[in-house]
Amino acid sequence: MAITAVLLLSSLGFFAVTAQAQDCSRPVGDNMDLKGNDILLTSFPDGTTVTFACNIGYESAGGSPRITCTAGSWSSLGLKCQRKNCFSVEDVQDGQIEYHPGTEFGDKAVLICNPGYMSLGGGELTCGSQGWMGRLPVCEAPGCSRPVGDNMDLKGNDILRTSFPDGTTVTFACNTGYESAGGSPRITCTAGSWSSLGLKCQRKNCFSVEEVENGQIEYRPGKEFGDKAVLICNPGHMPVGGGELTCGSQGWMGRLPVCEVTQCHSPPVVEYGSFSPNKDIYEYNEVLQYTCKKDYTLIGSRELHCSDDGTFKPEPPRCIKVECGDPEIPFGQGHFG
């Protein structure tokens, strides 16, 4: 502690007063602390000047940071320290920033993505002494799963994919056996949803077969993809060659038969019997007459006719040898040798 002598003048003459200089205790301030080595001291000699600095997370709001110790008291401190303000984060695309609770030191900035978008990467920001710390996510629209349509599928390489990024446009094509009934085949993925699909696919229609001579076409069950067209010949005619048609993706496939006039050949031979007329070719519905040889009787139908399928019907008869039993003689007996 220093000792100071002061001379005082009075009406009685001169006399000396001795005063003692006092040290100052450690000064304190709101949200600040001493700079340099002074931060380690607990007392300060008279006349000492010290300087304050704002604590981490705080910044000067004006005023002198220096004070001086005089006779055990510090001069008035002008420095004001306020919380560091990081201010607003720059605007982000497809989202907004929420501040918890504000934009000052220690507060948080959180990204909230717009409806239909999701945050990818990054996290929240923290207001630090040098500004916002951390990295915000990016708001991205979610992709779309594989789209489906009735009787159609995706074109090209898209048919192999199971997910599609936002903004992707794909094109549909009708399945084999189906054809477009109108509407746009393209859809676009937007924020996780596909736009409306306009394309409609209906079963391929092969329409009617051209008229055929001596017959009609039966459709089983109709004239669309996979259905059959069968030739039914008129009575007195029979199908020759070809087969049924099938409605395919390119139209009717196959070759129909030709309806030719029904003819029969080679009537069935009956043992011990004969038929008439006897010729090489018989026309449709022409009738054969069967007879048996002497001592044989005919069993079955005597008449056969040439039928639609080129065969004689019904089944041919049989000729069975006549067998006679013993005669009955009233009141007598016979002798047969």
pLDDT tens for each residue of 127-138: 999 999 999 999
Could you tell me the CATH superfamily of domain 144-202? Complement Module, domain 1 (2.10.70.10)
Measured between alpha carbons, how far is 139 from 75 in angstroms, rounded to an integer?
A: 55
Residues 175-226: pLDDT tens digits? 999 999 999 999 999 888 999 999 999 999 999 999 999 999 999 999 999 9
Whether 144-202 shares its CATH topology with 263-321 is answered yes
Q: Is the dihedral of CA 81, 83, 84, 89 positive or negative?
A: negative
Mean pLDDT of 111-127: 91
Does domain 263-321 sit in CATH 2.10.70.10? Answer: yes
Mean pLDDT of 97-113: 96
Mean pLDDT of 8-23: 56
Measured between alpha carbons, how far is 106 from 82 in angstroms, rounded to an integer?
A: 13
The 10 Å CB-count burial string (b at 16+, else e) for 275-298 is beeeeeebebebebebebeeebeb
Measured between alpha carbons, how far is 332 from 237 in angstroms, rounded to an integer?
A: 65
Q: Is the dihedral of CA 140, 142, 143, 149 positive or negative?
A: negative
What type of residue is 299? I
Confidence tier at 8 by pLDDT (50, 70, 90): very low
List the structure tokens of 80: 């004001």
pLDDT, residue 332, reads 61
Residues 171-181: pLDDT tens digits? 999 999 999 99
Measured between alpha carbons, how far is 295 from 289 in angstroms, rounded to an integer?
A: 18
Q: What is the mean pLDDT of the chain?
A: 91
pLDDT, residue 12, reads 46
pLDDT, residue 327, reads 66
Q: 221: cis peptide before it, omega within 30°?
A: yes
The answer to which of 3-7, 62-66, 135-139 has the lowest mean pLDDT is 3-7
Confidence tier at 323 by pLDDT (50, 70, 90): confident
Fold assignment, 215-261: Complement Module; domain 1 (2.10.70)
- Domain borders along the chain are 3-82, 95-140, 144-202, 215-261, 263-321
CATH of the domain spanning 3-82, picked from 1.10.10.60, 1.10.132.10, 3.20.20.70, 2.10.70.10:
2.10.70.10
Beta strands at 13-20 and 24-25: parallel, antiparallel or unpaired: unpaired
pLDDT, residue 10, reads 43
Confidence tier at 329 by pLDDT (50, 70, 90): low
User: Does pLDDT of 234 surpass 60?
Assistant: yes
Helix (H/G/I), strand (E/B), else coil: 325 = coil
pTM of the model: 0.53
Beta strands at 228-233 and 245-248: parallel, antiparallel or unpaired: antiparallel
Measured between alpha carbons, how far is 337 from 335 in angstroms, rounded to an integer?
A: 7
Mean pLDDT of 102-113: 96
List the structure tokens of 112: 């909230």
